[in-house]
Amino acid sequence: MNANVKKAVVVGAGISGASICFALKKRNIQTILLDAESGPAQHASGNPIGVVYPFLTKHKLAESEFSLAAFQYFLSIWEDFHLKSLVPHADGIYFLMDTDTAYDRYSNAIKSHQIPDNVASEKIEPFSSLPAIFFPNGKSVSPVDLTKQILTISNPETKYSCKLHSWEETENEEKVICQTSDGEIQCDYLFLSQGYQFANDPHSNWLPLQKVRGQILKFPEKKPTNTHGILYGDYITSAIDGYQVLGATFDEYKLEENPRPEESILLWQKLTKMLPNLSEPWGPQNPSLFPTRVSYRTQSQDRHPVVGKLPNMSKLDLSVKYQNVLRNGKKQMDIPYYKSVGILNGLGSRGLTHALFAAEILVSEMIEDQKITTESISKSLKPDRFLLRMWKREQLT
């Protein structure tokens, strides 16, 4: 093998890991993808259908600018790599503005972000007759097939049923040594995208990320059917391969893996309340009989993804107090990093929309090639933001 070719290890074969492999492939970096499971997309990225659309705020913020840019980037990859013919999907997402607050926020978001009509516009959703934001290129899509197709394009060497146990940088910081259930692997770059299992890694378990339980229902396509996905707090997807999905519950506290029949009933009751014209013609249903899947989001404290070089907590100078630094008129904190280790996590409820762009930002930062986004977006995503907050609150000792 050519000694100049750099080697990367990516941990986690969900949508994040697949997206990192894709960004590495663009830069000709030899890549090994590890996952503890026997194949890709078996945790959060394993739901039968999810929705792709951007998160918007009333005024322009780094969070909404990132989300909109990520949505546009997703669509450009979707086009350029012909994912339309490879990934089961249905186009079109309605986001209902069913309260005055929602109307104020989303109708103004369109104006403040100067979003053109071909990306999003105000439109009445036909089943509810409520005002909505319509994303004509938003999608109901199979996350599993999306992840698999991104991996097919990226073509990394894969090691499934292979768990990363531990890792460390060499003293000269030139290499990373990974200990896995399959033996030792040396690499030039390590990318961590373990979802909620980040907590097992002592190098990243300081991050304020949280495991959040979500339950969805899969049911046979109903007639009449909604040809577009509809969001109303929960969501109902369009049918793909004869099935629709109703999701998703959100529980930060009780995390058991067993499905809860009462949650399925509540999801269905909310659907029938919000969209009676759609669901009444279907007649009475027993939602507790529909197949259910429980999985876990990884959500950060500020609900924004965590993307960037990983700070090295063992080298952090804890003797420097924020108050002292302020007194000396110097507000910067020197953050030591692992030179070759990056993290992509905290995708929360929007991993499908955000992963590809987040991975592109991460890899361009790690490889130190040209910046692909604004300073304010990349800064807003960095894991450092939590460190700075913890330092200011003296939570680091």
Q: Based on CB atoms, which residue is closest to ligand FAD, 52 or 90?
A: 52
- Burial track 203-241 (b if 16+ CB lie within 10 A, e otherwise): bbebbbbbbbbbbbbbbeebeeebebbbbbebbbbbbbe
Task: Give CA torsion, residues 205, 39, 13, 208, to 10 deg.
Answer: -30
Q: Per the structure block, which two tokens stand in for 213? A: 């339980």
* Least separation in angstroms between CB 43 and ligand FAD: 3
Residue choice 20, 24, 29, 44 for contact with ligand FAD (CB under 6 A): 44
Whether residue 120 contacts residue 143, with contact meaning beta carbons closer than 8 Å, is answered with no
User: Facing residues of 146 across strands?
Assistant: none
Q: Measured between alpha carbons, how far is 236 from 218 in angstroms, rounded to an integer?
A: 10
45 binds ligand FAD (CB under 6 A): yes
Among the listed residues 107, 92, 96, the one whose alpha carbon sits nearest the alpha carbon of residue 130: 96
Count of residues that bind ligand FAD according to CB under 6 A:
40
CA of 79: how far to CAs of 83, 85, 360, 372, in Å? Answer: 7, 10, 17, 19
Whether residue 291 contacts residue 216, with contact meaning beta carbons closer than 8 Å, is answered with no
* Least separation in angstroms between CB 218 and ligand FAD: 12
42 binds ligand FAD (CB under 6 A): yes
296 binds ligand FAD (CB under 6 A): yes
Whether residue 362 contacts residue 307, with contact meaning beta carbons closer than 8 Å, is answered with yes
Segment interacting with ligand FAD, rule: CB under 6 A, options 6-14, 82-90, 97-105, 254-262? 6-14
350 binds ligand FAD (CB under 6 A): yes
Residue choice 7, 10, 16, 244 for contact with ligand FAD (CB under 6 A): 16
Residue choice 9, 12, 178, 268 for contact with ligand FAD (CB under 6 A): 12
Q: Based on CB atoms, which residue is closest to ligand FAD, 106 or 198?
A: 198
50 binds ligand FAD (CB under 6 A): yes
* Least separation in angstroms between CB 241 and ligand FAD: 17
Provide DSSP, 159-188.
EES--EEEEEE-TTSS-EEEEETTEEEEES
Segment interacting with ligand FAD, rule: CB under 6 A, options 112-120, 125-133, 193-201, 308-316? 193-201
Among the listed residues 135, 74, 50, 131, the one whose alpha carbon sits nearest the alpha carbon of residue 98: 131
CA-angle at 295, arms to 21 and 94, nearest 5° = 80
Within positions 74 to 133, which residues make up the interface with ligand FAD, using CB under 6 A?
none
Q: Per the structure block, which two tokens stand in for 200? A: 């097992």
Residue choice 54, 156, 214, 383 for contact with ligand FAD (CB under 6 A): 214
Q: Give the E-state strand segments of 85-149 in sequence order.
A: 89-96, 121-125, 130-141
Whether residue 74 contacts residue 383, with contact meaning beta carbons closer than 8 Å, is answered with no
300 binds ligand FAD (CB under 6 A): no
* Least separation in angstroms between CB 101 and ligand FAD: 22
* Least separation in angstroms between CB 23 and ligand FAD: 14
* Least separation in angstroms between CB 334 and ligand FAD: 29
Residue choice 8, 15, 90, 310 for contact with ligand FAD (CB under 6 A): 15
* Least separation in angstroms between CB 247 and ligand FAD: 5
Q: Which residues bind ligand FAD (CB under 6 A)?
A: 11-17, 34-37, 42-45, 47, 50-52, 143, 163-164, 193-195, 197, 214, 216, 247-248, 295-297, 347-353
